[in-house]
Structure 1
Amino acid sequence: MHDRQLARGDRRAREFDAFVTGAAGRLLHTTTLLTAEAPDANVRAQRLLTLALAHTYARWHRLHGEDPYDCARRYLATRFARATWHRYGPLGRARPDPRSPLASLTAQERLVLVLRLYEGVAEEQAAALLGLPAERVHALCDRATAALLHPAKPTAVSGAGAKVVPS
């Protein structure tokens, strides 16, 4: 019996290692987009990924055919949403790095945009995962996409304090 448990544990560890080898790079990129950190300075993203992988490993024997990548992605999304929307923990306090392509977006816009466009999650699935109406997810994705495709032009400030919009 003890040998069987050891063999099962070894198999579980090998399967998980194979999963991490194949998925960790993409998941790290996803978390870096979510946290809007620079790829070379993504401490919060690495922490979020570590938490997601630990959660997935803890559930590994209970997945029963469920996609482990989907499990990790769901955990990333819900943990990021909870930490940023409720402003607690190390994920909720930092400002986006201006070098990030998604730095101009709010945390909620980044989350929806990354889930929908980068991860390919259907609108209804993203809405269910985040506890938002599908219409809200659609609106957030549209607004984030428009903000990225048509960034606002910076305004200049004149000496009298009035804003001057460049023509």
Structure 2
Amino acid sequence: MERNMKRRTFLQSLICLPIALTVQRQASAQSASVNIEPFVLTEQEWRQRLTPEQFYILREEGTERAFSSALNDEKRKGIFHCAGCGLELFSSEMKYDSGTGWPSFFTVIEGHIETQLDFKLIYPRTEYHCARCGGHQGHVFNDGPKPTGQRWCNNGLALKFVAS
């Protein structure tokens, strides 16, 4: 039984890998090199700066419960900043209602996001982080609206909204 599970897991990763690599290539295009000064703190400094829930998401790559963030329903004009360091990540014009329960965007502010492959759920996904502090934001998928076809699915606790 265990051997069959390992084989199934291996085969699933082979099937999903080309999809994930396509998303990774598209997401990497969003990670254009912009000179951003790194924002580095010790673990203790991060724990003092963030709530325990924010620390879990931003520093330990956790995920909040779906439909738990007030930012999911945010409709005002403004900018969504990284809750860790304040870097601008998304504008309100980039946001849309994906129905997934997390704030979702069809693109990012160019150069303010970095991506990497994530295998935590066995199959590969494209995870993204703040380019300044490395704070985990969420994952990007290829099921979003035009014009990009992408869904940048973000943890609400990883963002701070500033209305304009």
TM-score by length of 1: 0.32
Ranked by relative contact order (alpha carbons within 8 Å, sequence separation 6 or more), the top structure is 2
- Flag the structure with higher helix content: 1
- Flag the structure with higher strand content: 2
| Greater Rg over alpha carbons, structure | 1
TM-score by length of 2: 0.33
